[in-house]
Amino acid sequence: MTETTSRADAARFLETAEGRLKDLAIAAQQADWVNATYITPDTDALSARATSRFISETLDLAKRSTEFAEGSLDEELRRKFKLLRLLLPLVGPSDPVESEELTRRVTAMQGAYAKGHHTLVGEREPRDLQGLSHVLEESRDPARLVDAWAGWHRIGRSIRPDFERYVELANRGAGELGFADMGVMWRSKYDMEPEAFAREVDRLWESVRPLYEALHAYVRHRLVAVYGADVVDPRGPIPIHLLGNMWAQSWDGIYPILVPPGTEAGFDLTRILVARGTTPTDLVRYAERFFESLGLGTLPPTFWERSMFVRPRDREVVCHASAWNIDFAEDLRIKMCIEITDEDFRTIHHELGHSYYQRAYSGQSFLFRDSAHDGFHEAVGDTVALSVTPEYLAKIGLLSDVPPDTGDLGLLLRRALEKIAFLPFGLVVDRWRWEVFSGAVSPSEYNPRWWDLRRRYQGVVPPGERSADEFDPGAKYHVAANTPYMRYFLAHILQFQFHRALVRAMGDSGPLHRASIYGSKEAGRRLKTMMELGQRREWPDALEAITGERRMEATGLLEYFRPLQRWLEEQNRSIPTGW
């Protein structure tokens, strides 16, 4: 076979592969959508079979791709072959029975998660995750908080048997593609060696750790004042159930008890939206108009016809917010159980970031229809959400006037409770799974190691002893759904890097936390240029297109929160830091 023939054969192979995979991916997306919005044993089975067919074909094509000598191919073809082998976060074994078993078990884990409920002491009706989460945000009764937290975490026990078998089968599939395990396969998606990527994550974490520790010390000190030193150790980790979120991945739910005396709490966007009679569709329209102001157009009519904005009353659904592109072209949708809150207002802006990114790269060939790396997809939506500032809210009529900067400290504190508090959790979920996939952590050590890492990175502990028989990681959707999580950690770094670059590009030299890119066609142009690249180029090229930089850095984040960090350091002068 000549070199010319080899290139031609490789190009034909990839063209056929992309066409076949696109057809199967659309079928799997359609089945998954129905399953997520109408959970029954039948839709579970349909989703599992469609996904299994896609996985089996992907595995077969990835194995056949090794027949081509990539050294003789041009850069685009080599990249396509690499992405073909990394197309899915889950690859089943070549044995069709085992492959179908793997997808069936993942579907079962998602279904068990979606159907989880717990009846609180003194109540007759069971609560779902949203209902229990409201308790964690609103109650200040430690016993009730423990009840809500522990009640939801019991879901892990039902997921654990499927998870153990999933690890075994998923590792077998990854091995057939030449990866040591699933964790290595996930880390191979970042255009660098897997271990180099792990070191990059450590570098980024170390750059933000001092800010997190300052926030942790302040929050712990305030919680001691509320609950007493017998509940919260003034020098130790924070009991997780007191932080206002089921996983303590954000702490803004307890913002009202963390506002220091003399500091303005700022406006209440939830109250404003409710008072105006805002509907779920209204919230989505606000977000669409944001993207329209950047010059990125409106959403297709089918988006409004086919999306799920509210929880149906007649069936079980997966309420976890997500953005879908069913046909990898124009069939854009979001799935959410929207509530009229500040949080969901921002979440919808985030989800539409996914939708506009999906549409931007739809002109690429199938294997390039994704973000530069998965952190980029999350970061685009989060970058837009950073522009939900008082200035933006005043421009769209939700505030009558822009509040003075005397309220900035409160706004920064609230955002830090969401963004900075998340960073170590974003790290832990996949660090734990990397160890599980590699075999460094055995099933008997799943739960102890989970809490070891959470104490080390987050400085949190569970309410009481958690036995090795529990499976608390399974109480997190992304673990049950086989969704890699490092993307969220990276996005929490990148969004501030993006935000700073876009704000400065539009000529705004003021404080980053007050800036909004709403209405900026230049910001929209930069975003579109980057998004249209899809995954055709390595991520440093995409990063350069939007920021002019080729390395992920936390300097944008640190600049954004600099006023708050100085204030925290002043507050913490006389109190312990660390745990």
Both 285 and 173 in one domain: the answer is no
Both 391 and 528 in one domain: the answer is yes
In-domain check, residue 255: no
Asked if 156 and 475 touch (Cβ cutoff 8 Å), the reply is yes
Is residue 351 part of the annotated active site? The answer reads: yes
Both 317 and 170 in one domain: the answer is no
Q: How far apart are CA 106 and CA 49, in angstroms?
A: 12
The three-state secondary structure class of 334 is strand
Enter the tokens of residue 283.
């919230």
Which residue, 130, 136, 384, 120, is CA-closest to 252? 136
Residue in 488, 499, 513, 518 annotated catalytic: 488
Residue in 18, 100, 101, 378 annotated catalytic: 378
Both 53 and 174 in one domain: the answer is yes
Structural domain harbouring 332? 269-416+494-501+511-542
Number of domains in the chain: 2
pLDDT of residue 6: 81
pLDDT of residue 266: 66
Is residue 478 part of the annotated active site? The answer reads: yes
pLDDT of residue 512: 96
**Cα separations (Å) of 469 from 158, 372, 443, 447, 465?**
11, 39, 9, 7, 11
Asked if 54 and 21 touch (Cβ cutoff 8 Å), the reply is yes
The three-state secondary structure class of 294 is coil
Which residue stretches of the chain have pLDDT < 70? 1-5, 263-266
Q: Could you tell me the CATH number of the domain that includes residue 158?
A: 1.20.120
Both 167 and 26 in one domain: the answer is yes
Is residue 288 part of the annotated active site? The answer reads: no
Is residue 513 part of the annotated active site? The answer reads: no
Both 171 and 289 in one domain: the answer is no
Asked if 451 and 466 touch (Cβ cutoff 8 Å), the reply is yes
Both 35 and 161 in one domain: the answer is yes
Asked if 360 and 340 touch (Cβ cutoff 8 Å), the reply is no
Q: What is the enclosing helix (H) or strand (E) of 324?
A: strand 322-325
Both 285 and 406 in one domain: the answer is yes
Is residue 67 part of the annotated active site? The answer reads: no
Both 316 and 172 in one domain: the answer is no
Q: How far apart are CA 224 and CA 427, in angstroms?
A: 27
Which residue, 308, 311, 312, is CA-closest to 322? 308
Four-residue CA torsion sign, 451, 452, 455, 457: negative
Both 288 and 159 in one domain: the answer is no
Residue in 221, 350, 492, 513 annotated catalytic: 350
In-domain check, residue 126: no
In-domain check, residue 378: yes
Both 165 and 17 in one domain: the answer is yes
In-domain check, residue 338: yes
In-domain check, residue 407: yes
Residue in 321, 329, 394, 505 annotated catalytic: 321
In-domain check, residue 93: yes
Q: How far apart are CA 118 and CA 475, in angstroms?
A: 13
Q: How far apart are CA 513 and CA 500, in angstroms?
A: 10
Residue in 76, 478, 538, 569 annotated catalytic: 478
Both 63 and 164 in one domain: the answer is yes
In-domain check, residue 187: no
Q: How far apart are CA 429 and CA 478, in angstroms?
A: 9
The three-state secondary structure class of 124 is coil
Report yes or no on whether pTM surpasses 0.95: no
Enter the tokens of residue 532.
């249209």
Is residue 57 part of the annotated active site? The answer reads: no
Enter the tokens of residue 205.
């974490």
Residue in 100, 288, 339, 351 annotated catalytic: 351
In-domain check, residue 318: yes
Residue in 320, 329, 330, 569 annotated catalytic: 320
